[in-house]
Structure 1
Amino acid sequence: MKQAILFVSALIVSSTVYSQIFTDNFDSYTAGDFLVNSNPEWDTWTGGGGGAEDVQISSAQSSSAPHSIYFKATTAQGGPDDIILRFDQVYNDGIFSIEANFFVVQNNGAYFNLQEDFTVGGSWAIDCQMLDDGTITFSNSGTDYLISTYPTGQWFNLRMEINLTSNEWEVFIDNTSQGVFSNIVSSVGILDIFAVNQVANGGNGLSEFYVDDVSYSHTPINLPQLNAGLFFINPLNGLVGQNANPSIQVRNLGQDNITSFDLTYSYAGGIAVTESVTGVFLPSLATYDYNFIAPITLAAGNNILDVTVSNVNAAGQDNDVTDDTKTILIDPVVPGLGKIVVGEEATGTWCGWCPRGAVFMDFMAAKYDGFWAGIAVHNNDPMADSIYDAGIGGFIAGYPSAIVDRGGDIDPSVMEGDFIQQIVKTPKAIITNGATFDATTRELKVSLTYDFQSAISGNWRVACALTEDGVTGTGPSYGQSNSYSGGGSGVMGGYELLPSPVPAAQMVYDHVARKIAPSFSGDATLLPSSITAGDEHTVCFTFTLPTEWDESKMHIIGMLVSPSGTIDNAGYASISSAETNGLAACDAVASLEISKIEEMDFNLYPNPTRDMAYIDISNPNGEQVSLKITDLTGKIVAERTYVIQGEVQLPINTSKFDKGTYIVHLQKGDAVQQKKMIIQ
């Protein structure tokens, strides 16, 4: 099956006469020689021929006898075979054609990409992944533009004809068109062929293939006098029922400057929406990005969004109407009825990479409002809640980390992928949060009403979390360590423009976990052991909020935790909206005593230290004591369990530790505590 993800209104004509610029059939070389040594127009990824990345001339297979070039990956990660061909120039207009013959060995895959300019590894224009099952995919930045099939175990011709002026990419296999798409990048400078069959993209990790008869050509296009073209529509994704604003790119495909135009979109057969763009200056071949003000409401199914540019310079129709319209298909995700996904992020003000977590927590909250409950669980800083901190500590390996519905430990930057997997699931119960709050006593009463959609039995548990936005504080412990400072580690939501640490006066913390009750894992005694579909049960909690917590910025998150420890569903509401729902009559009342885990303190000295440090601890009841030391990435550098009693001194040999900051984690029974340790 072939599937073109993006469609366009005008196709590239395959009979266009091209000006041949480069061709290589490898037949004049000697079998066994290295390609780059044989023809210096080719190069390797890191430069230079004859090394591990260079490929050899082969006589084992050929499309045009007697030779081809041979690729085989030695690991599932790909390589080392990796060669590039820089084109004679970087092309961003005209019609560019590139083709080659491929032979992909059975049960193996192949790969190539085109890159945007002459900077190797700088920016991709397109990825082509040929999987071992015969699937071929063209994509960019994780967005699939075209999916089709290719013949495995035999020679076939693959050709791409690309109108870079109007941004129309057509793929041919053995002279049969597989589809046409537009691309976020419309410039090419390098061909890169790499031996890989990526498991992450559906491959089996095996890559072995031959390439023959590589060529490319280019034909300029004569521009009409006045012409605007709809250049690109950014792919839209989201959930059914969400609003989304179409985002497009217009290109001046004429000779005259453009100062105004109209844009019209139509979605799912609905009423057309037109918006006017004025006061711009768009010279020939320049592009203009525009976000529609009027949103669309994402509808279930694979629906068409088409966008048209018209009335250029208030002159009505321009000189070429064939490039005025582009179309994409939008197939939004259908969420499970009443499903809310919980994202818990492990963070701390001491953690230099944790700004990444804050940025992506805000991204998820904004993009999936109403479907996402974000909780930032702080560690070893003034916002830390010891119970929540200890609970999430059993799920993560370092900082920053995240768990979505208490699945696997992931980086916060990829929470969206896990969210999409979870949001489609139909929950066992829909949860409604109710509340009353007494501003004088600071008493918050919460009711979690579980409306069961299907029967359950076993160790199902209930938990309730409180979070707060807009948290600020004074003193250095509220300042945020910032490894993105200076921009050397890339752009990260503005943190690259801030110092390290970011002073407390400049920091505002959102989604802060303030409390979880009756425990991190929840209480199984608050629900009946067996529940049938249609049953309704309400569990109540009572909290006393400290005066420094701002109830107007707080949220209540009710959870239903499965016997496996994953979160089945959540209820998410601000305190004020929960008050609007009202406090429901209780079937069970949660005891908060379970959550009163004893706080413990210990003395760590000298700190900073060089060769030795010591912990003084009191353990009159002889409880087991566990010591763990991690670096700031969460990597465990030392750990030990002690059976001790009384007033004890525990030595830590730090002589082999690298200089830097570490976290000492000490647990005695249910009591937990962490402290920073600096090695000089």
Structure 2
Amino acid sequence: MKKQLLSVLIIMAFSIGAFAQSYVYTTTTGTSDPYNVLEGTTTDIMEAPSASGTSLPDQMSSLISIPFTWRFYGNVVTGYYASDNGYIAFDNTVTSNPSNDLPPSASGPNNSIYAFWDDIAIEEGGGATDKVKYWTYGEEPNRVHVVQWHSFTPGDAGVTGSYAYAAIRLYECGDFDIVNGYGNSTGWTATVGCENSDGTDATIVTGSPSLDYPDPATPDGDDDVVYRFYYGAQPVTDLTVMDETGLATSVVTSSSNTITGTIENWGSAAVTSLDINYSVDGAAPVTSSVSSVNIAINGGSYTYSHPTTFSPPTPGVLHTIQVWANNINGSADDMPCNDTLTKTLFVNEGITTSRHVLLEEFTGAWCGWCPDGHTKSDEIVSAYSNVSVVMIHAGTPTDDMKFTESLAIATEFSATSFPGAMIDRVLFDGFDKVPHTRSSNNWENHTAERVNAYSPVDVSISKSYDSGTRVIDATVTADFVDYAAGDIRINLFVVEDNVTGTGSGYDQANYLDGHPDYTTHPLYNAGNPIIGYNHRHVLRAVPSGVPGTSGVIPGIVSPGGEYSQAYSYTLPSDYEETEIELVAFLSYYNSTDRGNNDILNAASSGSITLAINDIASNLSARDFYPNPVSDLGMLSFHLNNTETVLVEVRNMIGQQVKVIRHSKMSAGDHMVAISVSDFSDGIYYVNILAGEQSITKKIVVLK
């Protein structure tokens, strides 16, 4: 998310008492990473009742601890109590009051910060679950503690709209801000600001107690309205290094790396000159002076690029880089605690192996646009032989293929748009979350970016399957060809292809049906819902656990390192054993920053029935050509023994469109002609079934 600067308003607080200090505030627009209004790694304070349409009674939470030392009106506070009605209090005698007014007032709620104080309903509805929650992001000494009213509902009658989001961010460096970001509740008014402990002093945003909710239209942060509060006075000089984008988390030994990124000015004076510094592992700073700039106040930004490059000499070493700005307009920074950005990077040799890309698509039988996502992921797999797709069924509505771990993955990565996809779990430039939509060819472009990306490790799967006990035994092995460092985990998915069932938990909603913008789509006339839909690549189990298996791979790995993890999983009786495959991958694990959980490499096992302990392999497919095919194609396969064989063609939704052959065939090589002259353009699947074995070939009809 990029910071966008709008006009600024500085309001002096109401002040009672000649020597008392008050808060002042500024108003800006836009929030930046790593803050995310839809953050998934959070802790709930209170949540709506499960019954639709019912609300929590007015209440204050128990004490929530602040994870760092923080002051409010000059006094140290260690925690707060959250109200369902849009504020926090630093006093356990404060009650939850739905009737907002214009502070200061001795009647309270005193000793409080008002994010959006009004009659708020925390209730279950048709969208996201209403809740109050908290989380902390950033690194010491620049941590930020967030308390958020998430998707809350207007309690007042007559308000247009159904949801809004508001948050308070407490900064370890001092002070706080209030974010009103994302909602549709036009005409909803409230009180925003803060008040001291005895109701004699308050700083209230102009317009309160009838301040209209700003209705930011999207969750991407660009249009969030931010009220930033300073105790006493806004600093005159206050520069913060927001990011460093020139250095990757891994750099190649002896390479030349430019240190570059963004600096923001949160002081009350425009910045015309500054020094930019960096230090490696605490060594003497490398300084560059910058002049003839004009960095605007209250969030104005400047892109820096240090002229002295960093060239690490030794592989297999972790380095700590610190970047900061000082000598601002020839003066010291008035708030030095938030100056410095710290970044850890690892040096490798740049040796890579071939990559297998994993595309994880969030989907649901209830999701009407998801069939188009399925089509796109099928097209990607057809274009690249080194891509695997896994469908993660999730969401609140009915879907009989979602389960605890699939929902957990969706929550961990804040998957809120369906269909949405993660490609190698990378947070791509310009995106605020790892899962992203299919618009603008995002999935295709990001997959193309990853198929030849650097990878320091080969991943392989050895497997066996006992059809009597239905036990799958699998070992995932990682062979490193280069240095690597971090919390690297082994992951294993059990995936079932071609899943069908009856009822709303399997019938696929399909907004493409009859849609005037999708007349050429293969599912245009498929119905809505599509009865008996053929669900591809369905995630069924996660034997490694959602976080992955830890403790197998050390924190720093050298070339030649080999590490393995064994798993055992009993296949449920209603899963079709001939449609099961395993997908393994190595990924970084970072529980506090989901943008740093990239997959290093992945592998697919193919069908587990090719490893059945008690059935000898009888069927092997050779080829189908030409592919794409316009008229007549030839399918070749081999039988070790005489067997009854069915050759059929099915469409993308699993419907049988033609039986090519169904007869007993002798051992040896076979070639079967398949005419597609009466087929429409699109993707089809040729199934070869011989006894208890089957093989599927994807073909593309293009005339």
TM-score normalised by the chain length of structure 2: 0.33
TM-score normalised by the chain length of structure 1: 0.34
